[in-house]
Amino acid sequence: MAHQIDLGGITADVVFKDIKNVHLSVNPPTGRVRISAPLRMNLDTVRVFAISKLGWIKQHQQKMLDQDREPPREFLDRESHYVWGKRYLLTLKEADAAPSVELRHSRIVLTVRSGADALAKFEVIDGWYRGLLKSAVPPLIAKWEPLMGVTVSRFFVQRMKTKWGSCSPPTRSIRLNTDLAKKPRDCLEYIVVHEMAHLLEPTHNARFVALMDQFIPKWQFHREMLNRLPVRHESWGY
């Protein structure tokens, strides 16, 4: 059952789960606060914990509010799109053929059928981004499995509104945000390792930080890079 607590003007959603430790997250784009707490913990104890983290919460909320947003995509000629951190200008073509996307020098060429609306164009490009990730991720998993001593059973690529990735230790699967195909490849590798590290340590505790320091010493640099880069323009809901 979900609860809400007030932290001096900041509302936090609280969910009790069969877990050992409290997990606090501040979710984009507005900095909504979510707390997962052990079943044995009462709501007052959760509130005291959250109040002790109020400075951290406000700091992360401000970062999210300050982060640049991509303008709404209309899929018009010369519109900017990003692939692996590089900017491309859109060239729109209409043809009586299967829709396609192709990179040509500094251009991203989108071919659609005549009369295709913005949603149809978006679906073509979004599917293309998914394909890029589905090709880029397996070599990274294969690289890091022996180095980390873990095995990923499956990975999924999907649009995610509040996370770059997630991990399910019981099924040994990871999920990755489609938008990672727009970011530098180093950022994708950082997120893949981050989620794989959760197979060793499910929470973001000191052991998890030590693992990240061991595997990717510059992981905090990559995290900050993701936090600085513009994020997708979208009506985010909860």
Three-state secondary structure of 174-188? EEEEHHHHHCCHHHH
- The yes-or-no verdict on residue 28 having pLDDT over 80 is no
SS3 assignment, position 130: helix
SS3 assignment, position 214: helix
Q: Find all residues with CB under 8 Å of 55, minimum gap 6, and list them.
A: none
- The yes-or-no verdict on residue 235 having pLDDT over 60 is no
Residue with token string 């599917």: 127
106-149 per-position pLDDT tens digit: 999 999 999 899 999 999 999 999 999 999 999 999 999 999 99
- The yes-or-no verdict on residue 233 having pLDDT over 50 is no
Of 224 and 228, more confident: 224
Of 235 and 128, more confident: 128
CATH class of 80-228: alpha beta
Mean of the per-residue pLDDT values of the chain: 87
* 149: region left, alpha or beta (phi > 0 left; psi from -120 to 50 alpha): left
Supply the pLDDT for residue 65. 64
Residue with token string 């409290």: 22
Query: Which contacts of 30-33 are long-range, i.e. CB under 8 A and separated by 24 or more positions?
Result: 30/61, 30/64, 30/65, 30/236, 31/57, 31/60, 31/61, 31/62, 31/64, 31/65, 32/162, 32/238, 33/7, 33/57, 33/61
26: nearest Cα among 59, 57, 67: 57
CA 170, distance to chain mean position in Å, is: 21
Share of the chain above pLDDT 70, in %: 89
62-107 per-position pLDDT tens digit: 776 665 556 667 888 899 999 999 999 999 999 998 999 999 999 9
**Domain ranges (residues) in the chain:** 2-66, 80-228
